[in-house]
Amino acid sequence: MSVYKTLEETMNITMFRPLFFRLGVEEDWNRYNEIINSTNGINICDSIDSQIRELIKCRYPSRKLQEEDYSSLQKELLGDKSLEQYGVWVYYPWSRNMVHLLDKDEFIELRTNRNKYKITAEEQAVLGTKKIGIIGLSVGQSIALTLAMERGCGELRLADFDTLDLSNINRIRSGVQNIGQKKVFIAAREIAEIDPFIHVVCFEEGITNDNIDAFLLNGGKLDLLVDECDSLDIKLLARMKAREQRIPVLMDTSDRGMLDVERFDLEPQRPLLHGLAEGLDPARIAAMSPEEKIPIVLKLTSAGNGSLRGKASMLEIGMTISTWPQLASSVVLGGAVAADVSRRLLLGLYNDSGRYYVDIEEIVGGKEKGAESIERPNPYQPLGIDAIKRIVQKTEFEKPGDAIVLDKDKLGAIVNAAMAAPSTGNDQPWKWYYHNATLFLFHDRFRSFSFGDYHNIASYLTFGAVLENLVLEAHKQGVETGIRLFPQGEDSILIAAITFSNDSAGAEPHVDDSLADQIFVRTTNRNLGPRKEIEPTVLDQLKNTAESVPGAELRWLTATPQILEVAKIIAACDRMRFMHPEGHYDFVHREMRWRPQDAEATRDGIDILTLGLATPQLAAMQILKEYDVIDFVRRQKGGKLMEMATIGSIMPSSAIGLITMPTVSAEQYIMGGRSYERMWLAAERAGLALHPLISPLYFFPRITQNSNNDNSLSTDNIEELKVLRERFHQLFGVREGLAEVFLFKLSCMPKSGPRALRKPLEEMLFTDY
């Protein structure tokens, strides 16, 4: 057995620490010879003569040394030692290289000579006394090697439990021969090959609760902690312990060159991560699922300030990419920045805390600019009373002789109930005018103008729901209703004229007046929970209720495979809508109210708190708001995370329902709206949760009713939609020519949170009172 193997087995540290032999010492001479003679393939590297020559040159920079000068000065250096005995022989067991070097002081003097005067000799001596710990070596290796090259410290403690994978070599400096090796050993070996006199301590098990104190304190307290680990709980634990010991912390994120500096040495009460992590418990964080950690990570890293591609990557992790991407250029830049700040911090030249960005694209130029969502100019003006009066005056409408005049309170109660109906994006596209014992319902196209309201289909459905509520509340108030629908066209905004009487002859029928009690209870219930089966008799009752509107048909899907299949179709349409520049703009800027105070101020749109999103989803929404990020994902054929979120929200459903009408027309869509509102109220009464699934039915008409040559969809969109629509029709057994008016999921869930707000009555209703 060779001495090489014997030495490796005696001490694990020879995995990453070299052996030193000073040949003037007999024991070292014997061990040196034993290795030389017994180790196969050993490589002798002896450049001591050139090192001595360079050392002499550096010591006499102003002299033009001649060959005889070098000879005499070298002889003076050697003294009574032979050239072979001078300095130290350093053996690297992992590479079997035996290297002849200057000994420590002269080695450091020569190796750091090119640092002068960017680092003075006095500063270099101070740095040589410093101890730096680095947790995490995917990024930390670059920092460690840069510190070693500058000799920014005398001791490095490295911690990482992981081994090198081939995919790591895109940013970790290593050869393929090291795949499967511990990252700490790879880094420690390279440091030893740069400077064998830097003391390196490896924590190959990474950092844990059990060894964090040893990492920070054993062998002397660290002067600086560099955090580059992936574990969120360890990030917090390390900072808590560092703050207790008044050890400053650096962190580089390798995205936009973001660097964190926390001077716990100067500010022992400083909040962790600049106050972003206060109140977080490492033990609780460790028990969280990856999804639960998302919002915390986004907050701690100020993800909104990340690069376009960095943010896009967050949406694709676990879908089209396996983990957070990092580039060598960013990692090497981070190593340089962290090493520079480390040096100045340890020398007392930098005494601040903060979060900084060294963004090359910002500094050099050529910053990537992503696409912007598209705001289609709204061609309409808000519908006011003057325009309404002009239309009423021109309208040929004769009120029935039995029409009664409603008092102000009764009229207000009826219109308020009507306005409690659902509308797309809670846009509330209605205006009302009570004149000459007639209530006129108008379409305010300024309010409904959006990507989703293709050919006014969404608005017509809304007006159907509005009229259903109106009839129910009128019956509750003890009056009968007569409704006349007006033909709809490009310029038609008068939807209906409603009169009230005490005579039921020819009036709207009393189908199920008790549904009026559900009008202000009804809500879009997005709550999730375990799937429960709904009794078939209940589904039959809801079907009968929906189909009590002439021509309406309600089809159910209840089998899990069917629900999964339709969920995939809906998910693809959701993804397509969100990635469409106009669809995205409408969602972000027209529909959503991102703060409760905004929802309260406008009293329309969708309050984000009503979406029933989990905390991780709420956090992700902040990134989804940025269309340049979404468009980048689209161009990479991504978006699976969005699809998975939709599928996950649909699969707990007990049933998926589709309401159709016999033909495609404005009147049929209005009647379809009455059907779905009647059924929705009945579902609410039955204690069921209903959530509309709108995107397929807003997209399909764009490929079947495209009379205006709508070119906003790409060719890929159109082809995908054709396939999706065919699958959709097969699932529900829908024949061509039917109007698909309402798609929804039904489940057994508890009541949801706050209801969407409504505009005040006085803003929507004009009267002649």
Is 160:182 a contact under the CB 8 Å cutoff?
Answer: yes
pTM summary value: 0.81
Contacts of 384 (CB under 8 A, 6+ apart): none
Backbone angles phi, psi at 744, to 5 degrees: -155, 160
What would the two tokens of residue 641 be? Answer: 């995370």
637 CB neighbour count, 10 Å cutoff = 9
Provide the pLDDT confidence category of residue 294 given band limits of 50, 70 and 90: confident
Average pLDDT taken over every residue of the chain: 92
683 CB neighbour count, 10 Å cutoff = 25
Q: Which amino acid is at 352?
A: D
Q: What is the pLDDT of residue 391?
A: 94
pLDDT, mean of residues 125-132? 98
For residues 484 and 528, which has the higher predicted lDDT (pLDDT)?
484
pLDDT, mean of residues 707-716? 74
Q: Which amino acid is at 79?
A: G
Using DSSP's 3-state secondary structure scheme, residue 165 falls into coil
- 41 burial type by CB count under 10 A (0-12 exposed, 13-18 middle, 19+ buried): exposed
Which of 335, 288, 224 shows the shortest CA–CA distance to 326? 335
| C-alpha pair distances (Å), 606 with each of 602, 653, 680, 688 | 10, 22, 19, 21
pLDDT reading at 501 higher than 90: yes
What would the two tokens of residue 378 be? Answer: 């709204």
Report CA torsion sign: 252, 257, 258, 262. Answer: positive
532 CB neighbour count, 10 Å cutoff = 11
For residues 407 and 753, which has the higher predicted lDDT (pLDDT)?
407
pLDDT reading at 5 higher than 50: no
Contacts of 502 (CB under 8 A, 6+ apart): 402, 404, 479, 480
Q: What is the pLDDT of residue 2?
A: 37
- The beta strands (E) that lie in 320-452 are given as 354-357, 430-435, 438-443
Strands 438-443 and 494-501 turn out to be antiparallel
- Helix count and strand count (H, E) for the chain: 30, 22
- The beta strands (E) that lie in 476-563 are given as 480-485, 494-501, 553-557
Provide the pLDDT confidence category of residue 340 given band limits of 50, 70 and 90: very high
Report d(CA 215, CA 418) in Å as an integer. Answer: 68
Q: What is the pLDDT of residue 711?
A: 64
Backbone angles phi, psi at 354, to 5 degrees: 160, 180
Report d(CA 550, CA 660) in Å as an integer. Answer: 11
Which of 670, 675, 648 shows the shortest CA–CA distance to 659? 675
Q: What is the pLDDT of residue 350?
A: 96
Is the preceding peptide bond at 585 cis, omega within 30 degrees of 0? no
What would the two tokens of residue 151 be? Answer: 């000799």
Is 195:111 a contact under the CB 8 Å cutoff?
Answer: yes
Provide the pLDDT confidence category of residue 136 given band limits of 50, 70 and 90: very high
Q: What is the pLDDT of residue 723?
A: 96
What would the two tokens of residue 390 be? Answer: 């002009």
Give me the helices (H) in 347-456, please: 360-364, 385-394, 408-418, 445-448
Strands 19-21 and 88-92 turn out to be antiparallel
What would the two tokens of residue 108 be? Answer: 């450091």
Report d(CA 483, CA 611) in Å as an integer. Answer: 34
754 CB neighbour count, 10 Å cutoff = 11
Q: Which phi-psi region, left, alpha or beta, contains residue 593 (left: φ > 0; alpha: ψ -120 to 50)? A: beta
Which of 103, 97, 85, 101 shows the shortest CA–CA distance to 4? 97
250: β partners:
226, 261
Report d(CA 353, CA 267) in Å as an integer. Answer: 9
For residues 614 and 378, which has the higher predicted lDDT (pLDDT)?
378
What would the two tokens of residue 564 be? Answer: 């999964």
Q: What is the dihedral of CA 342, 348, 350, 355, to 10 degrees?
A: 50
Contacts of 276 (CB under 8 A, 6+ apart): 299, 300, 302
For residues 194 and 643, which has the higher predicted lDDT (pLDDT)?
194
- The DSSP letter of residue 274 is G
Using DSSP's 3-state secondary structure scheme, residue 515 falls into helix
Q: Which amino acid is at 645?
A: A
Q: If residue 367 lies in a helix (H) or strand (E), which one and from where to where? A: none
163: β partners:
182
Backbone angles phi, psi at 506, to 5 degrees: 75, 0
pLDDT reading at 271 higher than 50: yes
Backbone angles phi, psi at 73, to 5 degrees: -70, -35
What would the two tokens of residue 174 be? Answer: 């290593």
Strands 131-135 and 97-101 turn out to be unpaired
pLDDT, mean of residues 546-567? 97
Q: What is the pLDDT of residue 9?
A: 40
Report d(CA 186, CA 202) in Å as an integer. Answer: 10
pLDDT reading at 10 higher than 70: no
Report d(CA 433, CA 646) in Å as an integer. Answer: 40
629 CB neighbour count, 10 Å cutoff = 23
| C-alpha pair distances (Å), 752 with each of 521, 647, 692, 749 | 11, 20, 14, 8
Is 56:50 a contact under the CB 8 Å cutoff?
Answer: no
Q: What is the pLDDT of residue 1?
A: 33
pLDDT reading at 707 higher than 60: no
Angle at 676 between CA 670 and CA 677, to 5 degrees: 90
Q: What is the pLDDT of residue 324?
A: 80
- Percentage of the chain lying above the pLDDT 90 cut: 79
Q: What is the pLDDT of residue 91?
A: 97
Report d(CA 162, CA 181) in Å as an integer. Answer: 9
Report d(CA 200, CA 189) in Å as an integer. Answer: 9
Contacts of 119 (CB under 8 A, 6+ apart): 112, 127, 150, 343
For residues 574 and 399, which has the higher predicted lDDT (pLDDT)?
574
Q: What is the pLDDT of residue 616?
A: 62
- Percentage of the chain lying above the pLDDT 70 cut: 97
Provide the pLDDT confidence category of residue 3 given band limits of 50, 70 and 90: very low
Which of 457, 535, 470, 531 shows the shortest CA–CA distance to 498? 470
**What pLDDT digit, counting tens, does each position of 565-623 carry?**
999 999 999 999 999 999 999 999 999 999 889 999 999 999 988 887 766 667 778 88
Q: What is the pLDDT of residue 7?
A: 42
For residues 315 and 83, which has the higher predicted lDDT (pLDDT)?
83
Provide the pLDDT confidence category of residue 709 given band limits of 50, 70 and 90: low
Q: How many CA atoms lie within 13 Å of 153's alpha carbon, on the beta-carbon side?
A: 29
What would the two tokens of residue 248 be? Answer: 């400053």
Using DSSP's 3-state secondary structure scheme, residue 182 falls into strand
380 CB neighbour count, 10 Å cutoff = 14
262: β partners:
249
Report d(CA 46, CA 412) in Å as an integer. Answer: 99
Residue whose token pair is 């306005």 = 419
pLDDT reading at 742 higher than 80: yes
Which of 573, 570, 748 shows the shortest CA–CA distance to 655? 748
Q: What is the pLDDT of residue 706?
A: 65
Q: What is the dihedral of CA 451, 454, 456, 460, to 10 degrees?
A: -100
In what order do the strands lie in the sheet containing 19-21?
19-21, 88-92, 97-101, 43-46
Report d(CA 159, CA 140) in Å as an integer. Answer: 9
